[in-house]
Amino acid sequence: MLKGIKNPKLRNTRGFTLLLASLVVAIVLAVGASIFEIAQKELTLSSIGRDSQFAFYAADTAAECALYWDVRFKYFATTPPTPTFTCDGQTITATGYSVTYPYTVTFQFEPNGYCAEVAVEKTVVGDPGFIRTFIRADGFSTDCAGVSTNPRTLQRSVELRY
């Protein structure tokens, strides 16, 4: 019998416990890392969805503002009734008026801090000369200063025809 070891069969199993512990730690670490990666991707996707929704709300607000001012006050006619108008508490000046059709009037504003760019196109259709209006509002998930510089800017658009 060897000195200091009571059972010679235990001598061959000394490293097995360390190997088993290392294997369990590696499996737990791999599962934890994959769960972290999935959670990180879900967080990114949800923030993109939120930003997309903000961009859509900005576009919708802008389109409704243009529709209101056109239907109620004929603001986008060949000569506007006032030089400026207000939307969401902001004073807006539009550009692009013309005395002849077709023409496109554009303006930009920031509803709730998000950028919105609007184009109102007026054309004459048919023999009696019906005026057709096309409103395109582009909403962005950032303010107007950050639209061209922020790489995560999302754009959503709303179009109205009448």
pLDDT tens digits for range 109-137: 999 999 999 999 999 998 888 999 999 99
C-alpha to C-alpha distance for 162 and 100, rounded to whole angstroms: 19
The beta strands (E) that lie in 70-129 are given as: 85-87, 90-92, 103-109, 116-125
At 91 the three-state DSSP class reads strand
Report which residue type is found at 157. S
The two structure tokens encoding residue 141: 């998930």
Q: What is the pTM of this model?
A: 0.78
- Start-to-end Cα distance in the chain: 102
- β-pair type (90-92, 103-109): unpaired
Order of strands across the sheet that contains 116-125 = 103-109, 116-125, 130-140, 155-161
Cα 65 to Cα 45, 54, 82, 83, 143, distances in angstroms: 30, 16, 15, 16, 18
The 10s digit of each residue's pLDDT in 40-83 is 999 989 999 999 999 999 999 999 999 999 999 999 998 888 88
| Predicted confidence (pLDDT) at residue 16 exceeds the cutoff of 70 | yes
- What average pLDDT score do residues 87-106 get? 94
